[in-house]
C-alpha cells in the first residue's frame, strides 16, 4: 500500500482529479489547521502550506481546508501554496456554540467516530444519544468506548454500562491498564480514518498514545474541584498509526449541536424508537398525541423511559429549528439578490 493509500486516498478522491490540471501539483492531506497556515502530509513527508489568494478570499469558512481534507499544493521548497481543496466524502460537523445558526466543521473524510465516555467524569446517556444522532446525520459510523474502568464502579454506573454495552455495543476499556486496547486496535484498519470525540478528560489522547507509541500527546488530570477535564488538546490533529490507521484527536466538546432536519436520522441514536416508529398507525406520526402511536404506547408501558422519549423529542425540535432557520437565511439571501438585480435593471448603479 503506497503512502497516499495509507493516508486514506481512494477512488472517490482520484475521480475528483479528472477536471483539474494537477501535473505540477502535489497531493496531500491536511493534518493540522493553524491560524495562518496548514500542515499537509504527502508522499515525501510534511509541508507547511498557505492558501492561495482565491481560496483565502474567495471561499466561505467551511469551504477552506479543514483537518482531514485532501488538497493540491504547489511546492516552493520551504513553503507550499494550496490551490485546490478536493471534494469531501464525509465531514463531521456541529452547530456552532451560542445563538448563531451556523455549522462548524470539526474534521473531514471520516470513516468512523470513536466516541469516548469515562467513569471518572460520569456516563451520560443523553449526551451519547445526541452524539449518535449527529453522527448518523453526517453518515459516520460510531465506535463507543467506556474508558477508565480500572476505577471503582458504582451500582448506578454498572447499570448504565450494561445498557450502553447491550444497546450500542459500547466497549469497556482502560488506557491506564491497557485493558481491551488490543480489541480496539483490531478495529482500526489501514487507510481508514477515525476521529476521537468526547468531553475533556475522558482520555482520548491517552488512548491514542497507547495505540501510537511514537506520539506523545499532552494529557491532563481531572480537576478535583469541578470533576471536569482540562483542555489538553487545543487543536484537531491527524496522526498515522503504526498499523496504517489514521486518527484525528480533537479538543473536548460538551455536546454536539444538531445540524440536520432528517427526522428518520433522529431515531438512530435511540434504543428501539426507530423500530417502533415504523409500526405507528400513521406514516407521518409526530409521536405526540396520535392514536395508534407505538412510541407513546412504549413510553406508557415503561419499555421506553420518559427521559429517553423527552430527549428524542427535544432533538427533533432542535433539528427542525436549525433547518427552518437555515432555510429562512437562504431565502433572505435570494430575496436580497433579486432586489439588487432589479435595481440594476432600473438603472441604479454604484457611484
Report whether pLDDT(202) > 60: yes
pLDDT tens-digit series, residues 113-165: 999 999 998 999 988 988 888 898 889 999 999 999 999 999 999 999 999 99
Locate 93 and state its grid cell: 460537523
- Measured distance CA(292)–CA(279) in Å, rounded: 9
**Strands 141-147 vs 237-240: parallel, antiparallel or unpaired:** unpaired
pLDDT value for 99: 66
- Measured distance CA(55)–CA(58) in Å, rounded: 5
Say which residue, 339 or 195, is predicted with more confidence: 195
pLDDT band at 226 (very low <50, low <70, confident <90, very high): very low
- Measured distance CA(127)–CA(307) in Å, rounded: 12
pLDDT value for 230: 43
pLDDT value for 228: 44
261 contacts 319 by C-beta, under 8 angstroms: yes
Say which residue, 162 or 220, is predicted with more confidence: 162
What is the distance, to the nearest Å, from the Cα of residue 210 to the centroid of all Cα atoms in its chain?
22
Bridge partners (DSSP) of residue 26 are: 73
How many helical (H) and strand (E) elements, i.e. helices and strands, does the chain have? Answer: 11, 13
Report whether pLDDT(225) > 60: no
What is the distance, to the nearest Å, from the Cα of residue 28 to the centroid of all Cα atoms in its chain?
21
pLDDT value for 25: 94
Q: How many residues does the chain have?
A: 351
Mean pLDDT, all residues of the chain? 82
Report whether pLDDT(193) > 90: yes
Q: Where are the beta strands (DSSP E) in the chain?
A: 26-33, 38-42, 45-51, 70-75, 80-85, 91-95, 103-108, 112-118, 141-147, 171-172, 193-197, 237-240, 246-249
pLDDT tens-digit series, residues 293-327: 988 998 898 888 888 888 888 887 777 766 666 55
**Strands 70-75 vs 80-85: parallel, antiparallel or unpaired:** antiparallel
Domains of the chain plus CATH, in order, are: 3-85 (2.40.50.140), 91-249 (3.40.50.300), 263-332 (1.10.40.50)
pLDDT band at 192 (very low <50, low <70, confident <90, very high): very high
pLDDT tens-digit series, residues 236-254: 899 998 888 999 999 877 6
Share of the chain above pLDDT 90, in %: 44
pLDDT value for 269: 57
Amino acid at each position: 500500500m503506497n503512502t497516499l493509500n495509507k493516508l486514506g486516498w481512494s477512488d472517490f478522491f482520484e475521480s475528483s482529479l479528472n477536471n483539474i490540471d494537477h501535473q505540477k501539483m502535489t497531493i496531500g492531506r491536511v493534518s493540522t489547521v493553524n491560524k495562518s497556515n496548514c500542515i499537509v502530509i504527502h508522499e515525501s513527508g510534511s509541508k507547511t502550506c498557505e492558501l492561495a489568494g482565491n481560496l483565502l478570499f474567495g471561499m466561505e469558512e467551511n469551504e477552506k481546508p479543514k483537518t482531514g481534507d485532501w488538497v493540491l499544493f504547489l511546492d516552493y521548497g520551504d513553503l507550499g501554496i494550496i490551490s485546490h481543496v478536493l471534494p469531501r466524502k464525509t465531514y463531521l460537523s456541529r452547530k456552532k456554540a451560542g445563538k448563531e445558526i451556523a455549522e462548524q466543521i470539526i474534521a473531514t473524510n471520516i470513516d468512523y467516530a470513536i466516541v469516548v465516555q469515562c467513569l471518572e467524569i460520569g456516563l451520560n446517556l443523553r449526551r451519547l444519544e445526541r452524539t449518535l444522532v449527529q453522527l448518523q446525520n453526517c453518515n459516520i459510523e460510531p465506535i463507543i468506548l467506556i474508558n477508565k474502568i480500572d476505577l471503582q464502579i458504582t451500582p448506578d454506573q454498572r447499570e448504565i454500562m450494561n445498557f450502553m454495552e447491550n444497546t450500542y455495543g459500547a466497549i469497556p476499556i482502560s488506557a491506564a491498564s491497557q485493558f481491551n486496547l488490543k480489541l480496539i486496535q483490531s478495529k482500526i484498519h489501514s487507510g481508514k480514518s477515525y476521529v476521537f470525540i468526547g468531553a475533556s478528560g475522558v482520555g482520548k489522547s491517552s488512548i491514542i498514545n497507547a495505540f501510537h507509541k511514537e506520539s506523545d500527546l499532552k494529557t491532563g488530570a481531572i480537576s478535583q474541584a469541578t470533576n471536569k477535564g482540562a483542555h489538553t488538546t487545543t487543536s484537531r490533529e491527524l496522526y498515522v498509526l503504526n498499523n496504517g490507521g489514521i486518527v484525528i484527536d480533537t479538543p473536548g466538546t460538551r455536546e454536539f449541536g444538531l445540524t440536520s432536519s432528517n427526522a428518520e436520522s433522529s431515531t438512530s441514536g435511540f434504543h428501539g424508537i426507530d423500530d417502533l416508529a415504523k409500526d405507528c398507525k400513521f406514516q407521518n406520526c409526530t409521536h405526540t398525541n396520535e392514536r395508534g402511536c407505538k412510541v407513546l404506547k412504549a413510553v406508557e408501558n415503561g419499555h421506553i423511559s420518559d427521559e429517553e422519549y423527552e430527549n428524542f423529542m427535544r432533538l427533533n425540535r432542535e433539528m427542525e429549528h436549525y433547518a427552518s432557520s437555515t432555510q429562512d437565511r437562504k431565502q433572505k439571501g435570494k430575496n436580497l439578490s433579486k432586489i439588487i438585480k432589479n435595481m440594476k435593471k432600473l438603472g441604479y448603479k454604484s457611484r
